[in-house]
Amino acid sequence: MGNRHQKVLLPPSIEEYVPVDAPVRVYDELIEALNLEELGLERNDHKVGCPQYDPKAMLKLFVYGYSYGVRSCRKLERACHYDLSFLWLMGGLKPDFKTIAEFRRKNQGVLGQVLKQCARVCMELGVMEGNVLFVDGTRMRANAGLDNGYSIGDHQKVIKELDQRVEALLAASDAEDEAEAAAGSLVQVHSELADVRARRSRVEELVADMKQKGQDYADHTDPDCVRIRGRQGCHAGYGGQLAVDDRHGSIVSSDVVN
């Protein structure tokens, strides 16, 4: 049984964390060979304020993480603390998940270019052919229910019902004014009327947005999801797509679409 309290004379350096033939070293060399200026990445060591993380280190983190299915910024942060290959790749740097997410947000185009270059290198090395690809997909439930989704016709029906409600509230206000009731005021009625009008305005904005985007269905909880049919019936969700290489079965692309 191992003994985690065993002392060593000289602690290992970060370079000794991974063997010389570890795959992570290939990713390291690949990113090191890139020209940051050609990619459009800015690196200014004399910039005022806190020093930024090396853009190449951040690129290594994303490319290596994506290659092994680690996409979440929080999971990438955790890997920088506890995974030896990530510790070696980052040279001991431990950016937090907010920094990782901000780098991805600002450099999405660059990340796309780098991932494409990685795919080309894999083809040159014979890891994948790059000719015939097989695509498969699955359907996943969204974090929303069909009750929260409406078509343009559904919205127009809601607008009609709200118009009828507004007319009823106005009629009630007129009736109370004519009666000149001594008890109470019309604050409650006016408040309800304002709520209905605000809701009607919101529904009209949603309809206009759907028409502009060419949508015939939209969900109020999760605007990006669509209606899908699966084994469990009709529900709000997405489609997961996966493309693999013909010869080696390597995953070359994956995405979640609506």
Q: What is the pLDDT of residue 186?
A: 46
| Range with lowest mean pLDDT among 61-70, 75-84, 181-190 | 181-190
Do 208 and 230 reside in the same domain of the chain? no
Q: Are residues 58 and 123 in the same domain?
A: yes
Q: Is 1 within a domain?
A: no
Which value, in Å, is the radius of gyration of the alpha carbons in the chain? 29
Residues 105 and 140 in one domain: no
* Domain ranges, residue 187: 147-220
Same domain, 79 and 158: no
Instruction: Say what the pLDDT of residue 190 is.
Output: 58
Residue 5 lies in a domain: no
- Which of the four pLDDT bands, split at 50, 70 and 90, describes residue 128? low
Q: What is the pLDDT of residue 247?
A: 72
Does residue 65 belong to any structural domain of this protein?
Answer: yes
| Same domain assignment for residues 101 and 200 | no
Exposed (0-12), middle (13-18) or buried (19+): which is 151, by Cβ within 10 Å?
Answer: middle
Question: In which band, very low, low, confident or very high, does the pLDDT at 94 lie, cut at 50, 70 and 90?
Answer: very high
Residues 66, 106, single domain; the answer is yes
156-171 pLDDT, tens digit each: 777 777 777 767 766 7
* pTM: predicted TM-score of the whole model, two decimal places: 0.53
Question: Do 205 and 169 fall into the same domain?
Answer: yes
Contact of 134 with 114, CB cutoff 8 Å: no
Whether 3 maps to a domain, the answer reads no
Q: How far apart are CA 217 and CA 186, in angstroms?
A: 38
38 and 123 in a common domain: yes
Average of per-residue pLDDT across 82-102: 93
Three-state secondary structure call for residue 112: helix
- Please provide residue 253's backbone torsions phi and psi, each rounded to the nearest 5 degrees: -160, 150
Length of the chain: 258
Beta strands in 126-250 (DSSP E): 133-141, 149-151, 217-219, 226-230, 233-245
| pLDDT tens per residue, range 181-237 | 555 454 455 566 667 677 777 777 777 777 777 777 777 677 777 777 776 677 778
Q: pLDDT over 90 for what percent of the chain? A: 17
How far is 240 from 142, CA to CA, in rounded Å?
A: 12
Are 62 and 107 in contact, with CB atoms under 8 Å apart? no
Residue 192 placed within a domain = yes
Question: Is 154 in the same domain as 179?
Answer: yes
Tell me what percent of the residues of the chain surpass a pLDDT of 70.
76
What pLDDT does residue 109 have?
85
| Cα of 203 vs its chain's centroid, Å | 26
Residue 219 vs residue 92, higher pLDDT: 92
Residue at 86 is within a domain:
yes
Encode 42-76 in three state secondary structure.
CCCCCCCCCCCCCHHHHHHHHHHHHHCCCCCHHHH
Quick: pLDDT tens for 116-126: 887 777 667 76
Looking at the fold, whether 215 and 164 belong to one and the same domain comes out as yes
Evaluate whether 50 touches 70 at the Cβ level (below 8 Å): no
Give pLDDT, residue 95.
Answer: 93
Cross-strand pairs, 218: 150
Question: Structural domain tally of the chain?
Answer: 3
In a domain, 207, yes or no: yes
Residue 40 lies in a domain: yes
Mean pLDDT of 150-156: 72
pLDDT at residue 239 in the model: 81
Q: Of the given ranges (31-45, 66-80, 143-157), which has the lowest mean pLDDT?
A: 143-157
SS percent in the chain: helix, strand, coil, step 5: 50, 15, 35
CA pair distance 65, 215, nearest whole angstrom: 35
Look at 4-13, 68-77, 127-136, 179-188 and tell me which has the smallest mean pLDDT: 179-188
- 69 and 25 within one domain: yes
Tell whether the model's pLDDT for residue 39 goes beyond 90. Answer: no
By the 8 A CB rule, do 228 and 139 touch?
yes
User: So what's the pLDDT on residue 147?
Assistant: 67
Residues 208 and 235 in one domain: no
CB of 218 within 8 A of CB of 149?
A: yes
Give pLDDT, residue 129: 62
| Token pair 């002392």 in the structure block, residue | 7
Domain stop point among 127, 157, 175:
127
